[in-house]
Amino acid sequence: DAGVIQSPRHEVTEMGQEVTLRCKPISGHDYLFWYRQTMMRGLELLIYFNNNVPIDDSGMPEDRFSAKMPNASFSTLKIQPSEPRDSAVYFCASSRDTNTGELFFGEGSRLTVL
């Protein structure tokens, strides 16, 4: 089976531009998570979905951030407008159930906002 697939792997953009990160979870996984990783804050949970429904978005830093999961095989994380402090690695991960099983991570999307 293919693992979690994220795109793009690298994105360099200018402040004020819209950024869209994409994720395809592992088939059959009911849970999808978006994390942001920086040196200062470590791995932060931004939002997670269960069966395509957003369950907890309390980690989304600002209204500039939004996430959707239109179907079981696709999710997006959008930043509009982007700011330099959004520069980070964004990971998508999926799981059958984190209470009893592991998270499978994508390779991450490294975002640089100039």
Binding site for other proteins (CB under 8 A): 31, 33, 35, 42-45, 48, 50, 55-56, 91, 95, 97-108
Smallest distance from the beta carbon of 8 to other proteins, in angstroms?
Answer: 15
Closest approach, Cβ 57 to other proteins, in A, equals: 11
Whether residue 111 contacts residue 51, with contact meaning beta carbons closer than 8 Å, is answered with no
Question: Smallest distance, Å, CB 25 to other proteins?
Answer: 14
CB nearer other proteins, residue 48 or residue 65: 48
| CB closer to other proteins, 43 vs 114 | 43
22 or 81, CB closer to other proteins? 22
Angle value at C-alpha 26, between 112 and 103, nearest 5 degrees: 70
Residue 1: CB minimum distance to other proteins, A: 15
Burial-class residue 77 by CB neighbours within 10 Å (0-12, 13-18, 19+). Answer: buried
